[in-house]
Structure 1
């Protein structure tokens, strides 16, 4: 029953969106279809195609290089290539906008070298463009491809490569004829995740001048106060998500993958010599340099300058406290609900429970803006009902109970990140033999007792990892926080968004650096797991 209630909570925002969209007039639909959706859809499609292609190329190439070859710095780059995951897309866009501003440090140095005195005499092309957005988003999101593809390359049997070489395939062609075909599922999964993050992005797209569907939803609701129109655009985005997932599955519908019955041997790395090894080093180093080192170094320098000038303001400390408390409370709720759903699925593996499990995991596939708008509609309706009820019974209007207290925002975090918790808890529970459950039952333990005395102690590592991932994701989440935060309530992410939107970049450096530093924690966790599972 508890799992069914949790799944219903995830489903409510989608139903609320459909209901609100139906309230819009036929004229509104035609206006959106004629003037808003075509341009926003074309911009979103171009952005997703560019990011999908570039993340696939970067992620697959560096994964192959660090797996198949040995060159200077490879051991460090294996985990360093994950570092861009620590930097949210909107922070990378914010950092590069400041660095590459006509009056910024990079262009100033270039003009000094070339002998120009003013931006009117010489300036580089503006990064605010579709090309700039594709490049910056790809530099942050390529680890979504790198991580599963590298894992696939590492687990491929070495005898497959040896057979290919025996049949006359040269070493440099192994990637195209053997490794890539076998890695297609991992590439498809990684690109799908990168595209989901691209569709969810609101800060980077707006900063870089790309009017995506997500931006259209936000501006339609906030700027034009048109909730029905925003709901209708959100439904179009939801259809795009469904189409994306369906396309990925359709592309692999006839493909079957199998592994050797023998224990797979890891691929022996080929040492590179001469200039080729330095070329491999630079190819793998550039994504780390551009996606993490440069923006993080710039943020650290700007934050230090700001700290020396004004210290830590009370505003930043209050926003950091808001972010920490809200993220911690949401993480606890997400872990509890994820444990309930995953444990119930273990106890009752019937088809009905599997459907509930899938519905409960839907939130992660939905962009934060869509989810937040659906929750805004549902919570707003419930707030109005509570107000009318208390007014008629007690002559008292409590105001916006859910939205004003931040409960609606916590609800959004719960629905969006519940899939992470469910997946991590399942990964922990699946390692526990069912014989342990039976032994606990024979000793007189019920379902709750077995969970408390057997499953929780054995799954604490998986729970801790899930909690860390959820906490950092809550801290970085921007789309839902912008729409659902209470009045006069700011987090580090919304503070950064507001300052960047006003062009006062230096004011947001401390907030951006704090988010990046916390974001490094799950990257360290992923790197440790990857190192532990790597072949010797």
Structure 2
């Protein structure tokens, strides 16, 4: 038994250190010489990049809060016609990649788009000098687009917080004749602040790591600076310096999230299922709430999806090509391999923690989960550094022993994308497997040890059958996230290798959204699966 524990211990630590290696490599490379490229960026454009990033994160977070918070309170505390469908529909924008929504809205609201053409026809305007129209390809436009697809983070966590609040407090507020607004401001909002802070940190991290939207909108941020410095200046050290700055910001946001969760433990949450203290909206209030909520769904999901469907229908022959099938197969292969590896890794680190309940056994789990907070563009830098070094070591070794040079077997193949995806999404699998293992009684472990089962046999014959559903869900979530990932795939894909995400990005960047519609719809459909699972989980819980 002791030998098996050593195996699980060593495996957990080795795998977790491998997954945290890209993050360490970024900071280590950032200490190297960047040939004055970084100094040049600091003295010229870095101030603009930093300011754009700050205003992008701030603007998106504020807009997402203004969109998601009222919707969450309405769905949690009010009765509306069709509320069952609306609760589910408000989550759907998370399945829509931000850069796809940005392409569609640019197509609609640009000078040559149908909206401005209609206005010119109606009012008789001839040129752009005859009227003023906001520029969609701007920092403000990027904030609006990102807020439309990210507000569900606010909606989900705030709605859950509102629904878990003590009914007695809300009933007391009514006895004191507090209006709905007073009840929201003095009771519901203060109790939900920790959850809202967590949701805002998620929105901020997603915004900070976005590349597709800001690139198309020509908004220079730190993410685009990493991309341009690496590929434009061919300077990995300077790109690592910028990436390390972004990681420091992300770690600050994560610390804020942890602090908010710690505060949340102070609150006593009691939700009685038999009591319904929701408000019944009537008249103008009811219609305003319906228009607000359904308007969000239409603007962020339904209208863009209908536009994609229109393009896919009319340009199906041009879209259904051998390239589309090949790139779909590429995405399928990468995602399946990533999900299998991530689930195996999650089983190892979780089972080790279960075998040895000391506080230090949680460290490998936490280290292996750090990559989820790292933006894909930054992660690509961190992955490329150790893989390139490994390629040089292998080539030098084989050449020294007369076997020739095998080439870039790590950094120049699909291995780089799979490794990056595992680092990025291992936390998803670890969390799912952890929750499944927590439901298994420790008495089963004791009984299996009494019967003489070794740890491997106990995992195979006792735990795996019981957590099979959790493992399948973990693999499915990792598969879906891998299918949609753009940033890391864009930088790490081998020569002549595309995924569906990069395929859509390339077409849309070339203003050929019509041919990108079919693969974009496929990505959206794949992204809907976890949202259905999340919504069902909330319904069962409440």
Do 1:43 and 1:211's aligned partners in 2 also have CA atoms closer than 8 Å?
Answer: yes
1:333-412 → structure 2 map (5 Å cutoff): 333-412=341-420
Q: Give the aligned partner of residue 199 of structure 1.
A: 208
* Structure 1 gap ranges (5+): none
TM-aligned CA deviation for residue 99 of structure 1: 2.6
For 1:416 and 1:20, the matched residues in 2 are separated by 20
For 1:249 and 1:458, the matched residues in 2 are separated by 31
1:376-525 → structure 2 map (5 Å cutoff): 376-525=384-533
2:439 aligned counterpart, secondary structure: coil
For 1:65 and 1:220, the matched residues in 2 are separated by 45
Q: Structure 2 vs 1, CA of residues 361 and 260 (structure 1 numbering), >3 Å: closer, same or farther?
A: closer
TM-aligned CA deviation for residue 304 of structure 1: 1.2
For 1:121 and 1:328, the matched residues in 2 are separated by 55
2:110 aligned counterpart, secondary structure: coil
Do 1:21 and 1:229's aligned partners in 2 also have CA atoms closer than 8 Å?
Answer: yes
For 2:260 and 2:305, the matched residues in 1 are separated by 38
TM-aligned CA deviation for residue 100 of structure 1: 2.5
* Structure 2 gap ranges (5+): 1-9
TM-aligned CA deviation for residue 384 of structure 1: 1.3
Q: Structure 2 vs 1, CA of residues 449 and 18 (structure 1 numbering), >3 Å: closer, same or farther?
A: same
Q: Give the aligned partner of residue 289 of structure 1.
A: 298
Q: TM-score, normalised by structure 2?
A: 0.93
Do 2:165 and 2:270's aligned partners in 1 also have CA atoms closer than 8 Å?
Answer: no
Q: Structure 2 vs 1, CA of residues 317 and 118 (structure 1 numbering), >3 Å: closer, same or farther?
A: farther
Q: Structure 2 vs 1, CA of residues 425 and 237 (structure 1 numbering), >3 Å: closer, same or farther?
A: same
Q: Give the aligned partner of residue 79 of structure 2.
A: 70
Q: CA RMSD in A?
A: 2.1
For 1:24 and 1:267, the matched residues in 2 are separated by 64
For 1:24 and 1:2, the matched residues in 2 are separated by 35
Task: Say yes or no: does 1:9 pair with 2:18.
Answer: yes
TM-aligned CA deviation for residue 403 of structure 1: 1.9
For 1:266 and 1:113, the matched residues in 2 are separated by 54
Q: Give the aligned partner of residue 154 of structure 1.
A: 163
Q: Give the aligned partner of residue 32 of structure 2.
A: 23
Do 1:424 and 1:462's aligned partners in 2 also have CA atoms closer than 8 Å?
Answer: yes
Q: Give the aligned partner of residue 97 of structure 1.
A: 106
Q: TM-score, normalised by structure 1?
A: 0.94
Among 206, 216, 225, which residue is 2:225 paired with?
A: 216
Q: Give the aligned partner of residue 176 of structure 1.
A: 185
Do 1:157 and 1:264's aligned partners in 2 also have CA atoms closer than 8 Å?
Answer: no
Q: Could you report, residue by residue, the CA deviation over 1:130-173 in whole angstroms, capped at 9, with x for unpaired residues?
A: 11111110110111111121111112121111122333432331
Q: Give the aligned partner of residue 282 of structure 2.
A: 273
For 2:296 and 2:138, the matched residues in 1 are separated by 20
Do 1:4 and 1:356's aligned partners in 2 also have CA atoms closer than 8 Å?
Answer: yes
Between Structure 1 and Structure 2, how many residues are aligned? 533
Q: Could you report, residue by residue, the CA deviation over 1:344-382 in whole angstroms, capped at 9, with x for unpaired residues?
A: 122222122122221111001111111110110110111
Do 2:198 and 2:261's aligned partners in 1 also have CA atoms closer than 8 Å?
Answer: no
Q: Structure 2 vs 1, CA of residues 514 and 105 (structure 1 numbering), >3 Å: closer, same or farther?
A: farther
Q: Which stretch has the larger CA shift, 9-18 or 109-118?
A: 109-118
1:50-69 → structure 2 map (5 Å cutoff): 50-69=59-78
TM-aligned CA deviation for residue 267 of structure 1: 4.5
2:103 aligned counterpart, secondary structure: helix
Do 1:403 and 1:485's aligned partners in 2 also have CA atoms closer than 8 Å?
Answer: no
Q: Which stretch has the larger CA shift, 233-242 or 445-454?
A: 445-454
For 1:83 and 1:216, the matched residues in 2 are separated by 31
Q: Which stretch has the larger CA shift, 273-282 or 26-35?
A: 26-35
